[in-house]
Structure 1
């Protein structure tokens, strides 16, 4: 039996959403509300807290059916604008990974490579309605005799296109520095020598999993904002860890939870799926993702009221330690400090650089808030919890 003073159900909250009576605030707004009214009264008043993040999420991609030919084909190799997709699935299905690189790209042969085009850019081009050149090959079988097809398509021409991301919404991530005397090109961006900059990639208090650190409301079937459309959580993501060091507020002090998510690519927008070229590293896809947190009780409300001053991450050296697999922290820093533009490392000021967009994170949280208030977005009841 719950010991909380406030107890709501998903059904009660969704009924209020349907009636246009739900009280919805963003994860930034709830901080002041909780401080002013206390977590119990705030939990009685507020029904949903919305979150948002927009940042490169390499472990992303799309299952795509390119459509059959005549005679029919079972594709074994597929390319979109000369970017290879994984075709060992069946018939004309394939998986286009966000980090797949265009075949003629010189990669890092001339270091640092520019990586001008890849899977993330193809996905953005598709949702933008652009034409994409598709080529596929096969060794041929009795039932699938065709050996090759080639055509130009748009997203609406494709029978099926499903965004399916194995690892998104990282609960926390490193602050990256470079202690070496040479510039390093990493997935955390360009890191100048001798700790001349510190890069980070999380929206802090708006980040979805910081607002539900133990995933008490997020599970299989949770409805989310994904790429500009409604999507769903399908499982924990790869690299998911829940047994980690945490602060007294439950927030992990280093990388922890991740989510696997899915949604209809045909409903998505190029504003929220943006191909990225990361110099010297490769290509990626920036993904817009937001999760509404139902306020079932004051415990959940307390989690959502966490501020940037209360969220910490570790400073990690990507110049030497990270490439060598050495696990060592050079200090703990709050997101309030990171967002201030400068942090102190060993008594020296170091400028910070965000890889995530706070402007877009706020916009996602606001879109979710408006959609729920207008009874166009309901809370998905998780069928299995990961906590």
Structure 2
């Protein structure tokens, strides 16, 4: 048994033993007790499209002041139903003039990259906020605050997708060919933070994380969090001004919309043999359902089961057919 305090002290002394999640299985298999005793931290991470992401922005007041009723950033509308010059821009909101070619995720990446963004706002005017419109350019340094707050990130795992119809389908899982001619999947498998701590013994409210190149925090369970079925999620927050464009990328999903690839890393302290065992999971141990997106229902049928290892190989079997 080890404590967080003991591991933190080893970090301060430079004596900590840190391994990646893909290294831990071999270490554990050689000697489980030794792995639990000698490994202090297992690093985990994921990088993928996380649609449930966005940023709270505070623009500061103009002169004369304005109570923004509607606002667009590079013609992508942001939510303004809060205070006078606060807004929330979501990753999947589409551009008014470019449609699916550009969205909220692109605005966020542009801000992090130091680019100028056009701000346009309308208002109905009040005695204390008389101004009715404004148009200007801003960059990240002009903002009082820019806080990334993502309601649902880092899915523990996700179903793979296929298409039984005779037509091409365009989905948030990508383009699916007719008659189950391909399977699309997402996730980081054995590297995933929640897969390595499925009982949430070390990941929870206040956990410090790596978020898009900056220090971030877990602020609670994510929306649609379902740990008992293996579909856990987390809600996270961090300072956009400290983030790096290297670890965040806007995306266009053909004929579906826009999204945002988010980089998340979480160190898992190895407190005992139980955590050592959970961090020793391999891709071959991770079961993935294959779901038919060709059926227009909320609960789509499962047409097969595979493993993350088989998905990464590029070939799986569905109904006795190699895909």
TM-score normalised by L of structure 1: 0.82
1:89 aligned counterpart, secondary structure: coil
For residue 128 of structure 1, the aligned residue among 96, 102, 113 is 113
Q: Distance in 1 between matches of 2:228 and 2:30?
A: 33
Give the aligned partner of residue 316 of structure 2: 343
Deviation of the 1:230 alpha carbon: 0.9
Give the aligned partner of residue 190 of structure 2: 205
CA contact (8 A) 2:198 2:227 kept: no
Q: How many residues align?
A: 323
Q: Distance in 2 between matches of 1:119 and 1:41?
A: 48
Runs of at least 5 residues in structure 1 that lack an aligned partner in the other structure: 1-6, 107-114, 245-251, 351-387
For residue 155 of structure 2, the aligned residue among 170, 176, 179 is 170
For residue 318 of structure 1, the aligned residue among 293, 303, 308 is 293
Q: Distance in 1 between matches of 2:300 and 2:179?
A: 19
Deviation of the 1:148 alpha carbon: 1.2
Deviation of the 1:71 alpha carbon: 0.9
Query: How far does the alpha carbon of each residue in 1:364-386 deviate from its partner, in whole angstroms, 9 at most, with x for none?
Result: xxxxxxxxxxxxxxxxxxxxxxx
Deviation of the 1:46 alpha carbon: 0.4
Give the aligned partner of residue 366 of structure 1: none
Give the aligned partner of residue 68 of structure 1: 61
Q: Distance in 1 between matches of 2:106 and 2:56?
A: 15
Runs (4+) off by over 2 Å:
none
2:178 aligned counterpart, secondary structure: coil
Give the aligned partner of residue 289 of structure 1: 264
TM alignment of 1:151-230, pairs within 5 A: 151-230=136-215
Give the aligned partner of residue 237 of structure 1: 222
In the alignment, is residue 41 of structure 1 matched against residue 26 of structure 2? Answer: no
For residue 130 of structure 2, the aligned residue among 138, 142, 145 is 145
Q: Distance in 2 between matches of 1:242 and 1:211?
A: 13
Deviation of the 1:67 alpha carbon: 2.0
Higher strand share: 2
Q: Distance in 2 between matches of 1:71 and 1:241?
A: 48
In the alignment, is residue 14 of structure 1 matched against residue 35 of structure 2? Answer: no
TM alignment of 1:253-264, pairs within 5 A: 256-264=231-239
Deviation of the 1:141 alpha carbon: 1.1
Query: How far does the alpha carbon of each residue in 1:212-256 deviate from its partner, in whole angstroms, 9 at most, with x for none?
Result: 011111110001110111100000000001232xxxxxxx3xxx1
Deviation of the 1:143 alpha carbon: 1.3
CA contact (8 A) 2:293 2:300 kept: no
1:88 aligned counterpart, secondary structure: coil
Give the aligned partner of residue 360 of structure 1: none
Give the aligned partner of residue 26 of structure 1: 20
Q: Distance in 1 between matches of 2:320 and 2:47?
A: 32
Query: How far does the alpha carbon of each residue in 1:92-116 deviate from its partner, in whole angstroms, 9 at most, with x for none?
Result: 000000000001245xxxxxxxx11
Runs of at least 5 residues in structure 2 that lack an aligned partner in the other structure: none
Give the aligned partner of residue 99 of structure 1: 92
Query: How far does the alpha carbon of each residue in 1:117-144 deviate from its partner, in whole angstroms, 9 at most, with x for none?
Result: 0000110111011111111111111111
Q: Distance in 2 between matches of 1:243 and 1:45?
A: 30
Query: How far does the alpha carbon of each residue in 1:308-334 deviate from its partner, in whole angstroms, 9 at most, with x for none?
Result: 0100110001112xx322342111110
CA RMSD of aligned residues (A): 0.9
Query: How far does the alpha carbon of each residue in 1:18-49 deviate from its partner, in whole angstroms, 9 at most, with x for none?
Result: 11111000000111111112x22101100000
Q: Distance in 2 between matches of 1:100 and 1:136?
A: 16
- Higher RCO (CA-CA < 8 Å; seq separation 6+): 1
Deviation of the 1:151 alpha carbon: 0.9
For residue 51 of structure 1, the aligned residue among 33, 36, 44 is 44
Q: Distance in 2 between matches of 1:337 and 1:150?
A: 52
TM alignment of 1:110-121, pairs within 5 A: 115-121=100-106
Q: Distance in 1 between matches of 2:217 and 2:93?
A: 24
Q: Distance in 1 between matches of 2:121 and 2:272?
A: 53
CA contact (8 A) 2:289 2:302 kept: yes
